[in-house]
Structure 1
Amino acid sequence: MAADLIFYTNPMSRGRIVRWMLEEVAAPYETVLLDYATTMKDDAYRAINPMMKVPAIVHLGHVVTEGAAICAYLAEAFPEAGLAPTAEERADYYRWMFFAAGPVESAVVDKAMGVTPSDQQQRMAGYGHFDLVMRVLEEAVGRHDHIAGDRFTAADVYVGSAIHFYGQFGMLPKSARFDAYLARLYARPAFQRAVAIDDALLAPAG
């Protein structure tokens, strides 16, 4: 019998974001590991995500893709975990989660690919330019202990994962605010469990 919650991932992917979120939610889930060259392109997985990308989840027969969407969905689907926003937190929760999913990711990826928008192109680019995005992100994580206020929420999973991942590869400027924010997140048992699980999955290939 199929599990109620199935997680499709590869340990060398953005699936690590969702692994962390799933560990925070603490609901039982089944993991399906996919390989970039084979199973991620198979018809069976294309039926779940035609983009042939991970992560994806199937919960009670419903497919959710895109990391930020999965984090927001799981927070609402499992309210007992306390990761969805309160009324007071809601504006910053959605604002910064999708800022990380949109302007931050676009700015970092463009920079990594050597794309620097001209002054004219910056009007078209949703993020303007890289330095502006980084200043705004740094200010956002420095306002409170967590991105939506003083309490950890699913938005911290997504925003924190972005800062963690891009920072590991030297794609973000050095920032004491980023470091302090990440230190609070790294101390979370669910983060530590998630890292251990995915690192163990990498071990055989190492």
Structure 2
Amino acid sequence: MTDSLILYSNPMSRGRIARWMLEEVGRPYEVRYLDYGAAMKAPEYLAINPMGKVPALVHGPRVVTEYAAICAYLADAFPEAGLAPADRSAYYRWLFFGAGPLEAAVILKALGLEVPEERRRMVGFGPLSGALDALETQLARTPYLAGDAFSAADVATGSQIGWGLRFGTIEPRPALRAYWDRISARPALRRATDADNAAMPPKPAEPEGGKP
């Protein structure tokens, strides 16, 4: 496909995951940053993503939202990048595990909330410890989530692990720490991170004389 790639994002969003994936793909792309609030709720952007949130990827006439879907789409749109294995069973499983039970459990922990045990069947996921146990079991079998090779599943779900380790919502189990160290050393992630960090809004200046 030769259509242009445009990513709508914000440097403080899950758009960072989509940008990492774009860097792994290695095709030219454009990033259009949107501020939270008016820009994301403007009619022009709501025509792209009616949810009024980022990320959103526009590839020619095609629009893809949700970071895991963007990762899966780009892996299929550019197979030469080798980011989707021929056997998609483990790949799909762990790609959407990150966007499903893992992220839900991490968010609840960050909010200080807990689903009562008798309601867990209703929400479709268990405690965060169970999700981490499942990840540990898989990573004891293979160096990457979908097998012996890095894939889009590592971009999407690996990002959730990395953020959780950084912000303290995921306990630093040795297997998860080693996995994140392995994938976070990739040059594509470094390029994406540097670009997004450069676009971060400046920190407000401290008042004269230092902090009040």
Normalising by the residue count of structure 2, what TM-score does the alignment of the two structures yield?
A: 0.91
Structure 1 counterpart of 2:142: 144
Aligned residues: 201
Structure 2 counterpart of 1:31: 31
Deviations 1:82-123 (CA, angstroms, capped at 9, x unpaired): 111222xx1110001111110001111112222211121012
Q: Letter of the 2:107 partner, please give it.
A: V
CA distance in 2 between partners of 1:79 and 1:38 (Å) = 37
Q: CA deviation at 1:150?
A: 0.8
Please, what is the CA RMSD of the aligned residues? 1.2
Q: Letter of the 1:107 partner, please give it.
A: A
CA distance in 2 between partners of 1:142 and 1:60 (Å) = 40
- Give yes or no for contact 1:122–1:128 (8 Å, CA) kept in 2: yes
Asked if 1:130 corresponds to 2:120, the answer is no
Structure 2 counterpart of 1:168: 166
Structure 2 counterpart of 1:53: 53
Structure 1 counterpart of 2:85: 85
Structure 2 counterpart of 1:8: 8
SS of aligned partner of 1:75: helix
Q: CA deviation at 1:130?
A: 2.0
CA distance in 2 between partners of 1:36 and 1:28 (Å) = 26
CA distance in 1 between partners of 2:154 and 2:131 (Å) = 17
Q: 1:156 aligns with which of 150, 154, 157?
A: 154
CA distance in 1 between partners of 2:197 and 2:101 (Å) = 29
CA distance in 1 between partners of 2:141 and 2:178 (Å) = 12
Q: Letter of the 1:22 partner, please give it.
A: L
Structure 2 portions without partners, runs of 5+: 204-212
Structure 1 portions without partners, runs of 5+: none
Asked if 1:19 corresponds to 2:19, the answer is yes
Normalising by the residue count of structure 1, what TM-score does the alignment of the two structures yield?
A: 0.94
CA distance in 1 between partners of 2:159 and 2:28 (Å) = 22
CA distance in 1 between partners of 2:140 and 2:35 (Å) = 38
CA distance in 1 between partners of 2:53 and 2:133 (Å) = 30
Bigger radius of gyration:
2
